[in-house]
Structure 1
Amino acid sequence: MNTNASTARLAGLLYLIVVLTGIFSLAYVPSQLIVAGDAAATFERLVAGQSLFRQGIAAGFVCYTAFLLLPLVLYRLLSPSGKTAAVLMVAFAIVSVPLSLVNLGHKLDVLTLISGADYLHVFTAEQLQTQVMLALAAYSSGLLVAKIFWGLWLLPFGYLVFTSRLLPRVLGLLLMAGCVGYLIDVAGRLLVPAYPDSLLADYATRPAALGEIGTCLWLLIFGARASAFTSDTTRRMT
């Protein structure tokens, strides 16, 4: 039980790092620096807010490193409830990490373009702005690929949470619904041009957010309950 509690809280701590750095790098920083459809304003904000932009990149590296470790700790906690599901959970999560890390290269390209280096003077202001927007667009496309696996890992993860009884079952349901939401979001952005402006785009990934933040806080604060497997084993032994 002590081992289970320690593993659960370690998973909660890693999850908290993923959540906080992810919100900062994926939501807060873009909201402060990116002006949709306005290359000149975006370029100006990026130049003025280079420090914040760099912090966002650093937070991304921390986020994806923590996310590399998180499923390995969760595997130790949840694998007794289903080895196959636990392996799939780890595989889907880990595949997303190199995709996400390589994708950060597009943000490093933006840093180069806004650096004001002498060799960039051969470009006009409009050309630099266009290249920055192209790099940001490439980054967004890379996120779309990573989102496939951010969604897929939630299905076996949610299943294990639901069946293990180590956490509230409602969290498992939210995580599995989050998988569906992520895949809907990816398909919508890829196939339906009007999707980003739709109501569905605002809510598709909400179940995932609720499930992941809820799971993170539960693991961190409460640890893990005694599993049904442990209880059954104890009863047989007595």
Structure 2
Amino acid sequence: MQVILDPQSSQFARLTGVAYLSIAVFGAYAIGYVPSQIVVAGDAAATVANINEKRALYLSGIGADALVMLIEIFATVMLYAMFRPVSPVLAKIAAVARLMMVAVMAGMLFFHAGALALIDGSFAALSDAQRAEMVGWLFDMHHAGVWIWQLFFFVHLALLGRLVDASNRFPKILGLALTIGAFGYLLDSLYAFAFSQIGWLGIVRIGFLVVVTLGEVGFALWLTIRAPRATPTH
């Protein structure tokens, strides 16, 4: 417990970095790998068949998702404690925005629960085709939840980048990448919700998302490997 008593210590920074990297690893598994093995775009029946065939994989993805949320709570508070001396207001807004993101993620688990209930025989009056269609609808709603939490994550990362830059404890390029790249999450949500017909927007958002991914990974690695100490004040 001694390590968490000094938010400006290198040990605290290193622990925060480990939490951040853990989120990246488990999140990539839950959001990237598992859906790629389960979900068949535009074919709800095939998706249901994959869930039945690969139930353990599907459940492991839900478990990884839940683990990410728990780690997020620790990481959010630790980031707030680290950057509070830089700007209490910005650090608090960034923390609240990230916790709002986690709240949306938690709500999205209900769609998984609903899908499993349908697959396991709930609403027996419905045909298999009707249940599969409802499962597809629940997956669409779950995906819409991603577009919602990305709005809160945009706010968090834009402010985190500003705090990283102002702290003078990290390379300026990391703060810049986080702040500028954060717009990728905003553009991705706007593109999905309202402007999917604008082709250039879909391309631009990918560029920003690449930038912010590099910024987040670089920031987490810097925390873990370099574990910066507080900048001395005079």
TM-score where L is the length of structure 2: 0.90
Match of 2:226 in 1: 222
Q: 2:210 aligns with which of 198, 203, 206?
A: 206
For 2:22 and 2:172, locate their aligned partners in 1 and report how far apart those are by CA, in whole Å: 23
For 1:83 and 1:98, locate their aligned partners in 2 and report how far apart those are by CA, in whole Å: 22
User: Are residues 1:171 and 2:174 paired?
Assistant: yes
Contact 2:151-2:189 at 8 Å conserved across structures: yes
Q: 2:74 aligns with which of 69, 76, 92?
A: 69
For 1:194 and 1:54, locate their aligned partners in 2 and report how far apart those are by CA, in whole Å: 35
What RMSD in Å do the two structures reach over aligned CA positions?
2.0
Q: Report how far residue 62 of structure 1 moved.
A: 0.8
Q: Which amino acid aligns with 2:28?
A: I
- In structure 2, the CA distance between the partners of 1:206 and 1:168, relative to structure 1 (3 Å rule), is same
Q: Which amino acid aligns with 1:59?
A: A
Q: Which amino acid aligns with 1:87?
A: K
User: What whole-Å deviation, never above 9, does each CA across 1:203-237 have from its counterpart, x for those lacking one?
Assistant: 3422221111111111111111442xx1x42xxxx
Q: Report how far residue 113 of structure 1 moved.
A: 2.0
For 1:2 and 1:99, locate their aligned partners in 2 and report how far apart those are by CA, in whole Å: 28
For 1:37 and 1:77, locate their aligned partners in 2 and report how far apart those are by CA, in whole Å: 45
* Structure 2 gap ranges (5+): 1-5
Contact 1:7-1:76 at 8 Å conserved across structures: no
- In structure 2, the CA distance between the partners of 1:23 and 1:195, relative to structure 1 (3 Å rule), is farther
Q: Report how far residue 63 of structure 1 moved.
A: 0.5
For 1:195 and 1:17, locate their aligned partners in 2 and report how far apart those are by CA, in whole Å: 35
For 1:149 and 1:159, locate their aligned partners in 2 and report how far apart those are by CA, in whole Å: 16
Map 1:28-47; keep pairs closer than 5 Å. Answer: 28-47=33-52
Specify the SS of the correspondent of 1:205: helix
* Structure 1 gap ranges (5+): 234-238
Q: Report how far residue 125 of structure 1 moved.
A: 1.9
Contact 1:11-1:219 at 8 Å conserved across structures: yes
Relative to its length, the structure with more helix (as a share) is: 1
Match of 1:236 in 2: none
Match of 2:130 in 1: 127
Q: Report how far residue 123 of structure 1 moved.
A: 2.3
- In structure 2, the CA distance between the partners of 1:28 and 1:112, relative to structure 1 (3 Å rule), is same
Q: Report how far residue 152 of structure 1 moved.
A: 0.8
Contact 1:175-1:212 at 8 Å conserved across structures: yes
For 2:7 and 2:74, locate their aligned partners in 1 and report how far apart those are by CA, in whole Å: 21
User: What whole-Å deviation, never above 9, does each CA across 1:164-195 have from its counterpart, x for those lacking one?
Assistant: 12121111111101221111111111111335
For 1:196 and 1:14, locate their aligned partners in 2 and report how far apart those are by CA, in whole Å: 36
- In structure 2, the CA distance between the partners of 1:2 and 1:21, relative to structure 1 (3 Å rule), is closer
Q: Report how far residue 29 of structure 1 moved.
A: 0.7
Q: Which amino acid aligns with 1:56?
A: G
Map 1:88-127; keep pairs closer than 5 Å. Answer: 88-115=93-120, 117=121, 119-127=122-130
Contact 2:185-2:205 at 8 Å conserved across structures: no
TM-score where L is the length of structure 1: 0.89
Specify the SS of the correspondent of 1:68: helix
Moved more, 121-130 or 62-71: 121-130
Contact 1:165-1:225 at 8 Å conserved across structures: no
